[in-house]
Amino acid sequence: MINGIEEKAFETIEGGVCAAQGFQANGLNCGLNKDKNKNDLGLVVSDVLCNAAAVYTTNKVKGAPLLVTKRHLTATGGRIRGFIANSKNANTCNADGVEKAEMMCQLAAQALGVDAIEIVPASTGVIGQVLPIEPIAAHIDELAAGLAAENHGKAANAIMTTDTVKKEVAVSFEVGGKVCKIGGMAKGSGMIHPNMATTLNFITTDAAISSEMLQKALSAVVKVTYNCLSVDGDTSTNDCVLLMANGLAGNTEITDEGEDFQSFQSALYFVMRSMTRMLAKDGEGATKLIECECAGAPDLDTAIIVAKSVIRSPLFKCAVFGEDANWGRILCAIGYAEADFDIDKVDVDIASAGGRIAVCRNGAGVDFSEDEAKVVLAEDEIRIDIDLHQGESSAMAWGCDLTYDYVKINGDYRT
């Protein structure tokens, strides 16, 4: 159990954001991105109205699309049909941002023959450049005409920025004897240090569940998945996770925290945790995934704060890139984590498919073989296990190494 969620293993299925029945998607290049082979505009729509829940960035600078999404979810009581999303331009810090975000919804609604208030917008890319609406207007009919369940990958491609791989996950699960599906897509590679939400994530399910219970599940799961992810410590202005449930699986609607809610939440946790891991592994310039588990904490918040402090440390991230077992930097980052605990009880191991080495016991270094450490650190998925030995709570955080390519990618991102 973590944050009240039962951890279960699931077999993944194909279909991403269209794995659940009744969802269709499409994506294309409308010209925002000069690379014609890269989609920059995506649309995902449910055949019927959905209950929806969302979480947003805590950055004071909020992308105009977030403001419009919030407004539409409030106005409809969380009852929407779908969303339109673009990459290459964040539509943030522009005087006409809200107006453009509303226009995106209107264009999509017109092409679909639905009400604009039932569509929500999302944008990602450069901050502070005016979003040209013409390319979107010119391609909206083509985008809507191509909607199909099998085009989930085209939509996932449309939201990618510096991402090097598409991020899609889906699983099936049972609620009250009915088979339900849940799946999603995510984007994000840099400017990732979520706080209440992260980057762009869209999750769809055919389970029947009330908006209130959707929001409860989403908030609980976000806390121990996306909010435990950091690529560079920069909290984006456009972070948003949107979760839509269209109820087509036919289960009795989930309206309280009983067994059905647990089943739903476990599936949601699996999907979001899988996407969190994919986001960390595809961090800008990353060559290695870093997973850090903090166990033995007095409470969940302390476990999260300590684990996140380690995966955020630039010095430790560089050491992982250099395959250098400089564990003093792990202890340094544990030490400046803003939580209350006794540093002199802390144990640290470094592990991977290559083995496991104990580097610190009771806050002090222990002898280890540098040769064994090299074998452990040569792998591309590195695990740091911390035990505070002062409680029963644990949490995981995800990050990546800091490399030359991170600097290269971000030294000249706008052009």
Q: Which residues are catalytic?
A: 198
E strands in 270-330:
289-297
When binding is defined by CB under 8 A, the residue of 98, 126, 179, 375 that contacts a second copy is 126
113's CB contacts (< 8 A; 6+ apart) are: none
Of 380 and 404, which CB lies nearer to a second copy in the complex structure? 404
58: contact with a second copy by CB under 8 A:
yes
The helix/strand count (H/E) of the chain reads as: 11, 14
Stretch binding a second copy (CB under 8 A), from 43-51, 100-108, 270-278, 405-413: 405-413
Instruction: Specify the length of the chain in residues.
Output: 415
Task: Give the DSSP letter of residue 8.
Answer: -
Contact 120, 161 (CB under 8 A): no
Q: Which is nearer to a second copy, 179 or 318 (CB)?
A: 318
**Least Å from the CB of residue 61 to a second copy:** 3
Place of tokens 């202890």: 331
d(CA 235, CA 254): 33
Q: If we measure between CA atoms, which residue out of 68, 74, 77, 150 comes closest to residue 109? A: 68
Identified binder of a second copy from the candidate list 50, 54, 144, 191, rule CB under 8 A:
191
Give min distance, CB of 211 to a second copy, in A: 28
The verdict on 377 binding a second copy (CB under 8 A) reads no
Scanning 20-28, 135-143, 266-274, 322-330 for contacts with a second copy by CB under 8 A, the matching segment is 322-330
The stretch near a second copy (CB under 8 A) out of 73-81, 114-122, 170-178, 232-240 is: 232-240
Is 95 among the residues that bind a second copy (CB under 8 A)?
A: yes
Smallest distance from a second copy to CB 314, Å: 4
Residue 318 buriedness (CB in 10 A; 0-12 / 13-18 / 19+): middle
Contact 208, 86 (CB under 8 A): no
The nearest distance, CB 51 to a second copy, in angstroms, is 30
What are the φ and ψ backbone dihedral angles of 97, each rounded to 5 degrees?
-60, -50
Among the residue ranges 149-157, 210-218, 251-259, 361-369, the one whose residues contact a second copy (CB under 8 A)? 361-369
In the complex, the smallest distance separating the C-beta of residue 375 from a second copy, rounded to whole angstroms, is: 17
Cβ proximity to a second copy, 18 vs 131, nearer residue: 131
Please say whether the beta carbons of 81 and 118 come within 8 A.
Answer: yes
Please identify which residue in 94, 123, 204, 263 interacts with a second copy, judged by CB under 8 A: 94
Residue 349 pairs in a beta bridge with 358, 385
Question: Does residue number 333 form part of the binding site for a second copy (CB under 8 A)?
Answer: yes
Q: How far is the CB of 121 from a second copy (least distance, A)?
A: 18
Measured from the CB atom, is 15 or 190 closer to a second copy?
190
β-strand pairing of 381-387 with 289-297: parallel
Q: Is 152 left (phi over 0), alpha (psi -120 to 50) or beta?
A: alpha
**For strand 119-123 and strand 79-86, is the pairing parallel, antiparallel, or unpaired?**
parallel
Residue with tokens 């920069």: 234
Binding residues for a second copy (CB under 8 A): 58-62, 90, 92-95, 126-129, 190-191, 193, 195, 232-237, 312-315, 318-319, 321-322, 324, 326-329, 331-337, 341, 343, 360, 363-365, 402-404, 406-415
